[in-house]
Amino acid sequence: QVQLVESGGGLVKPGGSLRLSCAASGFTFSDYYMSWIRQAPGKGLEWVSYISSSGSTIYYADSVKGRFTISRDNAKNSLYLQMNSLRAEDTAVYYCARDGIQLDYWGQGTLVTVSS
């Protein structure tokens, strides 16, 4: 069965960095586009970033452009999100999801808290 497991969240000070990981299993990871979506406490879903199956096409939301970097390692069936220059408004649960235009499988999420 398809499984996506995020890790790497935690408490970080403003201006700090964090790297999120998403371990995929149960499907051919290298065949699928993947996305990161976040949800601030009590708020709605916000699409963050997207990467094609080969990694050659990448998009970012304007709110994270220049600060976040998405990447993947198809040999390790893993998706990553490097987050730099973190701000309080980046505090959220971060989900990875399999992206076939529709997001058909989601991980359980990992909480990132940016606070001094």
CB atoms within 10 A of CB 103: 16
47 binds other proteins (CB under 8 A): yes
Q: What phi, psi does 18 have (nearest 5°)? A: -155, 145
Q: Does 41 bind other proteins (CB under 8 A)?
A: no
Residue type, 25: S
Q: Which of residues 5, 23, 61, 111 is near other proteins by CB under 8 A?
A: 61
* Number of shown-chain residues binding other proteins (CB under 8 A): 21
**5 is a contact residue toward other proteins (CB under 8 A):** no
- With binding defined as CB under 8 A, does residue 111 bind other proteins? no
Chain residues binding other proteins by CB under 8 A are 35, 37, 44-47, 50, 59-62, 95, 101-109
